Structure 1
C-alpha cells in the first residue's frame, strides 16, 4: 500500500534535516504509523535505523548495531564499536550528514538505562557540532514523556521537537478505503468502525482483497491463519508478560460497557484501589484507553471519570474474541461471525458516535471553547456538549435512520436534560446527527442543528 498523508509531519522532518544537527522525538501508540513515516522520510538519505529489542542485552545490540553501521556506511573492518560509548562516539564524530533512528527508544530504560544518560552527555558535548539528524521513536507515550518531558528527565529539553502521531481521521480513512477498491459507502463505513484510524490494518485489507465487513472478518480475523488472529494477545504478552491476563480482563470489562473504576473492579473481582497502575499502563504505556470526565468538569478534580477505548479494533477484539475464546480456539468461526453480524449495528454505535464527535470537533472548534460528552451520577447523558461564550450546542448522535417522529422524540428528551447540566450559561441550541432523517429541512427551519451522514464531506 502506498504512503498516505502526513504532509505536515514530513515537512517538519525535512526542515529539521535541512537545519541539522537536529533531534526529533516521534511518539504515538502502536500501529499508528511511526515507522512508516520514518521510512518514507528516510528515502534517498544516508540512514542508520536501529531497533531496540527488549529481549536482547546491550552487548548483543551494540554488536548488531556495529555490523549494521559497518555495512551501511561501508566502513573498514577495524572500526567495530565494543561498548555503548564507542558506538555513540563514532556516531557523533561522523563527518557526513547522517540520519540516525532509534525505534522503541524507551526500551533502553529496561535493557540498559545508562544508554539514555550517555546519549545526553554526547548530545550536550558534541551534538551541536555533529552532522546528525537524530530521531528517536516510541509507542510508550508515558515512558517517552518521562525521558524527555519531566523536569528531572535525562533528555529534558534536548529535543528540537516532540511529534505525537495521531491516528488518521475518518475522512482520510474512508478515502483510503475507496482507493483500495471498497466502492460501497456502507462497506467503507463498517470497515472504518472496525479498524478506526490505525492505518496498519488497512494494509491487510489491500493484501487480502477485503471489500466489506464480512470478507474482513473471514480473511483477517476468523480463520486459523488470520493475520490479526493474535493481535491483541501478542501486544498484551509482549508488554506485560505474566500479568497480561489482568489487563485482558480490564479491557474486556470496558468493552462490555463498564467504564468507571468501581464497575471494572466489580466485574474482574479485584479491589478498586488495585486498578490504577493497570489503568495507567493501558492509557499511558500503550494508549489503548483514554480517561475522560464530563466536559463541564474538565480542568478540575472529578469523581465522574470514565475509561473508554481509543482503539476501535482492540475494543472489538476484547468484546468478541477474548470473551468467546472457547469458540475461537475451537474453530467455530461460523457461530462467532453470526453473533458479530447480528450485534454489529448496536456494537458499532459507539464507534460511530466517536467518529461523529471527531468530525464535529473539527467543524466547531472556532465557535466553541470546550467540547465533549456530559453525564451525571443518575445516568443522564448528552453525547456532545459544546460550550461557548455566546451560547452552547447539545447534540445527540444515533447510528441509524430516523423518522420525523423519532427525531422529535430524541430532541424532546435532549431538551429535558439541559436544565440538569450544572453551571451552564447562555442559550443552548439542540442538535441531532444520524445516518439519515426524514424531513430534515423541517427540523432545521425550526432551529435545530440537524446533520445526516451524507452531509459530511467524506461521505459524498
Structure 2
C-alpha cells in the first residue's frame, strides 16, 4: 500500500503556513479544487493532522440540511468539546464557528463545497455575510474544497456570485506527474518502460489508482488478472466517479465518452456513431465536468472549428474503452472475456496513450511555452507532438511509436513542411525526434525538470 506521501510539497507548506499564522493574520479563506480521487483529502490530512492548530473536517454529502446539521453538531461536540450546542441550520453552524474562533485558532475544512448548491443554495450568501462581518476578528482558516472545477471557479470567481473574490489562496490539485509515477513504481520494484505505460493507462497519475496498482502488484498475478476481477475496485470506479455529477442524463454522457474512447474524436463522428446531436452535452463535458479536452492543430487560431476531443484522464479513457464497452460481460462476471478483449486490443490502444505520456513528460520538464499536435485541413500529415520554446527559439517535432524501428525521420520532416510554413518561425532551431517505448526511460531522464 502507498503509505508514503508523494509530491505536493508546495501546497503542503502553503496550507500549513496559513494555519500557523492565523492568530496574527485573522480570517483566511483557501479554495482547493481537483477532480475526485486526485488526493485532496489526503493532502489536507497531511497538512493539518500534525499541526499546532486544531482542525475540523465537514463533508457536504447530498442529503437534507437537517441530516447535515445533526452530523456536523456531533463532529463539533466531539472535536471541540462543546456542550449544549443545538444549531437549527447550517448557517447557525458557520456563525458559531466564526464566534468560537474569536477565542481559539481553528482550521475548518468544508469538503465538496460546491454541493451546498444542492443542499441549501442560500447558504452561499449567508457564508459571505458572516465571513465579511467576522473575518477580521476570527482566527479561522476556512478551506473550501471541491471536485467540480467549473462550479468552484464560478462560486469564487463569478462576478455575480456572493463569494466573488473572497478567496485568499486558490489551489488546483493535479494528478501526479510522470516522474512521481516512476518514483512510486521504483519504490515497489515495478519500474520499466512497458509497465510505466500500463500504469499510466490505468492511473493517469491519480494517487488513489496508484495505491490500487501497488496493491495489485504485490499479488502474484499479472497486472490485468488483478485489475479485471470480481475483487477489483476499478470495475465500478467509472460509474462511482461520474454518475453523481452527471445526474439524470448520465447515460447520454456515458455514451459520448464511450464513443470518444473508441477513437471517434470529432463531433461529426461522435454524432454519426451515436446517431444523435451532442453539442450541448459536449460543451458540458468540457466546461462543467472537465472530463474532455478540446484539441486544435497547434498552428490554428483559438476560434478554429477544427477540433478533436479526447478524454482528459487516461484511467477514464481505459475504463470506457475496455470495461464500460463490455458492460454485459461485467454483469455476467465474465472477467476472462474482458481480459481477452484487452489482450487483443491493448497494444494498439496503449500506443495511442503513449503519446499522452510523452506529452506529460514534456509538460513536466517546463522547457516549452506551447505543446500540441498538428494535422492539416484534410486531417492528414498528422504530427503527434509539436513543442515550442519561444525564449530559446527551439521547436521539437516528435513522432510517437511503440517501437523505435517504425520511426522514419525522413517522413516526419516531409510531413512538417506545411506546419513550419504556417508557424513561420524564422531562425528557430528544429529538432526531429522519434519517441517510443524503446527510449521512454532515457527521454524521462533527459527531460527531468
TM-score by length of 1: 0.88
What is residue 372 of structure 1 aligned with on the other side?
Answer: 372
Partners of 2:246 and 2:391 lie apart in 1 by 46
Partners of 1:350 and 1:150 lie apart in 2 by 37
Partners of 1:346 and 1:392 lie apart in 2 by 31
- Which of 85, 105, 118 lines up with 2:91 in the alignment? 85
SS of match in other structure, 1:31: coil
Give the C-alpha shift of residue 146 in structure 1. Answer: 1.0
CA offsets, 1:396-451, max 9 Å, x none? 23232223x843344344344435x52423146141232367xxxxxxxxxxxxx6
Partners of 1:135 and 1:389 lie apart in 2 by 37
Number of matched residues?
435
Give the C-alpha shift of residue 211 in structure 1. Answer: 7.1
What is residue 295 of structure 1 aligned with on the other side?
Answer: 298
Partners of 1:250 and 1:93 lie apart in 2 by 49
Gaps of 5+ in 2: none
Call closer, same or farther: CA 1:18–1:346 in 2, change over 3 Å. same
SS of match in other structure, 1:373: strand
What is residue 330 of structure 1 aligned with on the other side?
Answer: 332
Call closer, same or farther: CA 1:185–1:293 in 2, change over 3 Å. closer
What is residue 456 of structure 1 aligned with on the other side?
Answer: 444
What is residue 279 of structure 2 aligned with on the other side?
Answer: 275
Q: Does 1:134 align with 2:142?
A: yes
What is residue 38 of structure 2 aligned with on the other side?
Answer: 32
SS of match in other structure, 1:297: coil
Is the Cα contact below 8 Å between 1:142 and 1:284 reproduced in 2?
Answer: yes
Q: Of the two structures, which has the highest relative contact order with CA contacts closer than 8 Å and spacing of 6 or more?
A: 2
What is residue 62 of structure 1 aligned with on the other side?
Answer: 69
What is residue 446 of structure 1 aligned with on the other side?
Answer: none
Partners of 1:290 and 1:178 lie apart in 2 by 30
Partners of 2:31 and 2:363 lie apart in 1 by 27
CA offsets, 1:267-290, max 9 Å, x none? 11112xx422x2233234433211
CA RMSD, 1 decimal:
2.4
Give the C-alpha shift of residue 38 in structure 1. Answer: 0.8
Partners of 1:192 and 1:73 lie apart in 2 by 43
What is residue 411 of structure 1 aligned with on the other side?
Answer: 412
Give the C-alpha shift of residue 40 in structure 1. Answer: 0.9
Is the Cα contact below 8 Å between 2:299 and 2:419 reproduced in 1?
Answer: no
What is residue 99 of structure 1 aligned with on the other side?
Answer: 107
Give the C-alpha shift of residue 8 in structure 1. Answer: 0.4
Is the Cα contact below 8 Å between 1:174 and 1:189 reproduced in 2?
Answer: no
SS of match in other structure, 1:154: coil
Partners of 1:75 and 1:282 lie apart in 2 by 44
- Which of 159, 166, 173 lines up with 2:174 in the alignment? 166
- Which of 341, 344, 358 lines up with 1:342 in the alignment? 344
CA offsets, 1:173-208, max 9 Å, x none? 111122133254532332123211111111112334
CA offsets, 1:54-94, max 9 Å, x none? 1x111211121111101111112x21212223211110011
Q: Does 1:72 align with 2:73?
A: no
